[in-house]
């Protein structure tokens, strides 16, 4: 996989500053779908690509392991995690608690919804381009923007990690277009409710949305989880 497409990050200021920054770069690449589940992350290639020390990279790996994005295999190295049914159920439980509560609080004059609207437009453009991975990314950006409506840095950071993990779940869908495309219209409906200042209705729409997505992903993950246990 060469430099993993990470060389561009060397030009950014403070590239060797902290392991947290390296973790943020790798997390963003996982969230973008560039590192699919089961991918082995080669230390030497990342060290060269980012211009960091081995100690810094290993601390970044430790942070991402704590976030359940990576897993260490003895004598094998560091791998992007493969998630199962229990992971899906837990992720969606958390999403309902955080996202639905966030939009429910939007009443009356709405906050700035520009990023939500941009994510919907980005999804539409991805459909026009038949870019299904781009459509998945647009959906993740939409829900990151939902979390930002909370006004909490901690909620935003929590959801960034959750949604990066969710990208690993999306990979189980054999037909990404069939899975993701209907949810673009549902994002648009949630946005419209928020634009009207109807947080309660947006929360109801979002709860239904998350329930349907969870069921689809559980059905897709179940056979793989069963195989992994045999």
pLDDT average, residue stretch 175-179: 90
Residue 13's pLDDT is 43
pTM (2 d.p.): 0.77
The answer for residues whose C-beta is within 8 angstroms of residue 81's C-beta and 6 or more apart is: 37, 68, 69, 70, 71, 165, 168
Specify the CATH number for 85-229; select among 3.90.76.10, 1.20.120.530, 2.60.40.10, 1.10.357.10.
1.20.120.530
- The model's pLDDT over 92-141, given as tens digits with 9 standing for 90+, comes to 999 999 999 999 999 887 789 999 999 999 999 999 999 998 999 999 99
User: Could you tell me which residue, 222 or 73, shows the higher pLDDT?
Assistant: 73
Residue with tokens 């601390």: 59
Q: Domain residue spans in the chain?
A: 7-80, 85-229
Stretch among 47-51, 85-89, 90-94, 168-172 having the lowest mean pLDDT: 168-172
How high is the mean pLDDT of the chain? 87
CA distance 44 to 113: 42
The torsion region of residue 176 among left (phi > 0), alpha (psi -120 to 50) and beta comes to alpha
**Domains 7-80 and 85-229 fall in the same CATH topology:** no
- The model's pLDDT over 37-72, given as tens digits with 9 standing for 90+, comes to 899 999 999 999 988 899 999 999 999 999 889 999
Whether the per-residue pLDDT at 175 is higher than 70: the answer is yes
Specify the CATH number for 7-80; select among 1.10.3720.10, 2.60.120.10, 1.10.10.10, 1.20.1730.10.
1.10.10.10
Whether the per-residue pLDDT at 21 is higher than 80: the answer is yes
Is residue 64 within 8 A of residue 70, CB to CB? The reply is: yes
């Amino acid at each position: 996989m060469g430099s993993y497409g990470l060389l561009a990050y060397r030009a950014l200021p403070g590239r060797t500053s902290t392991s947290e920054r390296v973790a943020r770069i790798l997390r963003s690449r996982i969230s973008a779908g560039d590192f699919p589940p089961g991918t082995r992350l080669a230390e030497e290639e990342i060290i060269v690509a980012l211009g960091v020390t081995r100690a810094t990279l290993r601390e970044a790996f430790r942070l991402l392991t704590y976030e359940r994005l990576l897993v260490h295999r003895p004598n094998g190295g560091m791998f992007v995690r493969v998630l199962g049914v229990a992971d899906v159920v837990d992720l969606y439980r958390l999403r309902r608690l955080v996202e639905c509560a966030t939009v429910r609080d939007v009443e009356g004059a709405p906050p700035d919804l520009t990023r939500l609207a941009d994510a919907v437009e980005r999804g539409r453009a991805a459909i026009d381009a038949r870019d299904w991975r781009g459509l998945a990314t647009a959906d993740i950006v939409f829900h990151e923007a939902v979390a930002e409506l909370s006004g909490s840095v901690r909620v935003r950071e929590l959801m960034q990690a959750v949604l990066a993990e969710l990208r690993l779940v999306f990979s189980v869908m054999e037909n990404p277009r069939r899975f993701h495309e209907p949810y673009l219209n549902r994002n648009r409906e949630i946005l419209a409710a928020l634009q009207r200042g109807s947080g309660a209705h947006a929360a109801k729409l979002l709860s239904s949305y998350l329930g349907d997505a969870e069921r689809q992903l559980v059905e897709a993950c179940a056979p793989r989880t069963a195989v992994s246990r045999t």
